[in-house]
Amino acid sequence: MEWFRERLHEVAEQGLRMDRVLFQGKTEFQSAVIFENDRFGRILILDDVVQTTEADEFIYHEMLAHVPLFAVDAPKHVLIIGGGDGGCLEEVLKHPVETATMVELDRGVIDIAREHLPNICGKAFDDPRTDLIIGDGAAFVAETDRTFDAIIIDSTDPVGPGEILFSREFYTNCQRRLSDQGILVTQNGVPFVQRDEFKKSRASFEALFRHPNFFFAAVPTYALGVMAFGCSSDGLDPSAVPLEVLQSRFDALGLKTQYYTPEIHLGAFAWPAYLR
């Protein structure tokens, strides 16, 4: 039986059994593989790095989308940078937003997801509220004059094309594009082994935002510790929204989630001591 092995931050490896390969090839920008695993379901690999799996994507995508969108009162316009698998977009569209703008560099990833990962993206790319832009996300936020109630950065790690999405210049441009109560949420890796990247982003958020913070979740696929999500705003503190307010918004939406709850929302902002 063939195994896929991923090197993790130059210090470890994880192996996933490839029970059935569904796709193997290249997009315009990167190599791509999709295979099935009996426990994790379908798994997307880009440039030899695990991106998402059917089994645990709900943890990552629910937290990425619902923490900012339940913190903001009646969000209308959301921007997603990256997220070509469509999982974050699908979660955003469960809210009564007016527009969900998604800027993805690699159309090939979207095409692969629509064909092979419908359990992750659903019908998100066909939703009339979806405004899909194929292009450079950093250039988009630098040039657009639109404002958003949430900007969600669903990026790869800070290497290669994704490196700019962790820069202070990029975060500054995102800040300018937020509404008065708007929130910036970012994927910030596994700080137990990506300490320098975490410290760099933390310094940027603290320099730029009135309410800089992170929340955390354990996603099995992203090994070697809890995953960090940057969560910063000038207009509100997403970690201090009263539980009864979160519960009221959650109940009003009638959303069925597998991970996110109002209690998880608040608890996720508790920092492990070693990160403090």
| pLDDT recorded at residue 1 | 78
Distances (CA, A) of 175 to 30, 62, 181, 215: 29, 23, 11, 19
| pLDDT recorded at residue 193 | 94
Candidates 136, 154, 180, 234; catalytic one: 154
Q: How far apart are the C-alpha atoms of 213 and 215, rounded to whole Å?
A: 7
| pLDDT recorded at residue 160 | 60
HSE-CB at 80 with a 13 A cutoff on CA atoms is 31
Query: pLDDT tens string for the chain (276 positions)?
Result: 799 999 998 899 999 999 999 999 999 999 999 999 999 999 999 999 999 999 999 999 999 999 999 999 999 999 999 999 999 999 999 999 999 999 999 999 999 999 999 999 999 999 999 999 999 999 999 999 999 999 999 987 766 666 677 788 999 999 999 999 999 999 999 999 999 999 999 999 999 999 999 999 999 999 999 999 999 999 999 999 999 999 999 999 999 999 999 999 999 999 999 999
The residues of the chain that CATH labels 3.40.50.150 are 57-267
149 is catalytic: no
Burial class (CB in 10 A: 0-12, 13-18, 19+), 258: exposed
The residues of the chain that CATH labels 2.30.140.10 are 3-53
Pick 57-267's CATH classification: 3.90.650.10, 3.40.50.150, 3.20.20.70, 2.40.110.10: 3.40.50.150
* pTM check: above 0.85: yes
Pick 3-53's CATH classification: 3.30.70.2190, 1.10.579.10, 2.30.140.10, 3.40.50.300: 2.30.140.10
| pLDDT recorded at residue 167 | 87
| pLDDT recorded at residue 161 | 60
